[in-house]
Amino acid sequence: MDLNDTLSKSLTASLVPGRSTKTWKDKHISTKPDTTVLVAAALQDHIIRNLRLQNLSLSDTFKTKQRTKMSCYRPIDRNTAKPVVDTGIKRREEKKKRKEEKKKRKEDEEKEYVLDPKPLSLTLAQKMGLVDAPKALLTDSEWQLVKKRSEKQGDSAQPCAICREEFGMQQQVLLSCSHVFHRICMQAFERFSGRKSCPMCRKEQYQTRVIHDGARLHRIKCATRVQAYWRGYIVRKWYKELRRTVPPKDTKLRRKFYEEKLQEINDRLVRSCDMDIDGLFSEIDKSLAISRRVLQQFERQRVHTISEEEWEQIQIKAILREVFDCPICITPLDHWSSTTCHAADERPDGREKCGQSVRKTVLLSCSHTFHYTCLKAFEDFSEGGKHNCPLCRSTYEKKIL
């Protein structure tokens, strides 16, 4: 019932003559002048109380807290102050207490509760029946029915109708008309509109309840998104490993696969090789020097004289080789040519008949033969105290034939 219409009807009814009291019989109001004044006063009081906006469920007062003596700063008397010894027990107790408070705060945040204040006392107009009395607070079962109707509509899964943003982890309020909004959005709407009406259905004098369906749906959505990202990463990693190990069936892709494999092997070989050539040569020189020193020491320990019988065996071995030229100068060995000439034609004075000058021949312990002068020149030009055979590179002892 409109308050202005009621007021006008009540005033006109008392002033019109001949008006019967039967029309007001249901409301038990007579048309006496005293009753008319009472009705007018009751309606005026009701209108003033409504204009004061004392029944907004989300409106906050911006009054600052008064400063009490306990909150004021007081200087510390150092004479009466006592030092505190920290044993760690108090710290553990405070830590345990903070953990319990955090757990309790989390439980309180997830708990649903009604925001509407206690119903105000009825005005005189409501007591007289001129204005409808406000509805009683909804019970828990009625709130469950309102919540089910809101879930069926899907209001928590949709953006807020005021700011058009997702609910996320912010607090949301459920109205008794089953519409859902951000708590801060509804609070601003009530403050700036100056009345308590639903932004969607314009229902007045609604009741509000804090719910957490939007936060629950947001957590499920975030968990689903994280799981999707993780599964995508695992599948991409598995597919990449599959492409790296299993050759494809397509000819071009197979060729590219084996080219990449061959390139990978070549790169691995190049990385394993040391490209420092100077360092490699220096290590080879050091190892050769060490080996030479070891062999020289070993040869010094093995020095022994060769007997005549051993020289005869070495000479027979050299004859069996059938080498008649000096390996250094590539000319015939005089010893072997003079021996053959002596067997063919011998002079009366016992000298060999040979057209060339006689050159000495040297037999080495390794059964190689050289001209004495050639071997002498080779030894003069070679380095080191020990001389090696020009053919087999072994140390030797020599005998002039």
pLDDT of residue 331: 86
CA distance 8 to 125: 14
Of the candidate ranges 59-68, 111-120, 236-245, 335-344, the one whose mean pLDDT is the lowest: 335-344
pLDDT for 158-172, tens place per residue?
999 999 998 888 889
The three state secondary structure string of 148-166 is HHHHHHCCCCCCCCCCCCC
Q: In angstroms, rounded to a whole number, what is the distance separating the alpha carbons of residues 152 and 190?
A: 26
HSE value, Cβ hemisphere, 13 Å, CA-based, for 104? 6
| pLDDT for res 58 | 62
Assigned token pair, 338: 């003079």
Low-confidence winner among 71-75, 117-121, 145-149 (lowest mean pLDDT): 71-75
Q: What is the largest CA-CA distance in the chain?
A: 199
Q: Is the pLDDT of residue 129 over 50?
A: yes
Q: What is the pLDDT of residue 59?
A: 55
Q: Residues 370-380, buried b or exposed e (16+ Cβ, 10 A)? A: bbbebbeebee
pLDDT tens-digit series, residues 343-371: 444 454 544 444 455 678 888 888 889 98
Residue 182 neighbours by CB under 8 Å, 6+ apart: 160, 162, 163, 165, 167, 170, 171, 172, 173
33-51 helix and 3-15 helix, angle to the nearest 10 degrees: 170
User: What secondary structure does DSSP assign to 245-268, as a single string?
Assistant: HSPPSSHHHHHHHHHHHHHHHHHH
pLDDT bucket at 185, cuts 50 / 70 / 90: very high
Q: Say yes or no to pLDDT of 276 above 60.
A: yes
Rounded CA-CA distance 172/160 in Å is 9
Query: What span, in angstroms and rounded, lies between the C-alpha atoms of 127 and 133?
Result: 8
Helical axes 213-245 vs 140-153, angle rounded to 10°: 40
Distance in angstroms (rounded) separating the CA atoms of residues 347 and 338: 13
Cα distance between residue 167 and residue 215, in whole Å = 7
Segments of the chain assigned to CATH 3.30.40.10? 304-333+358-400
How far is Cα 286 from Cα 84, in angstroms, rounded to an integer?
74
In CATH terms, the fold of domain 304-333+358-400 is Herpes Virus-1 (3.30.40)
pLDDT tens, position by position, 58-96: 655 444 445 555 555 566 666 666 666 666 677 778 888
Token readout for 58 is 């989300």
The amino acid sitting at 328 is I
What local confidence, expressed as pLDDT, does residue 232 receive?
Answer: 94
Question: Which tokens in the block code for residue 266?
Answer: 């070549």
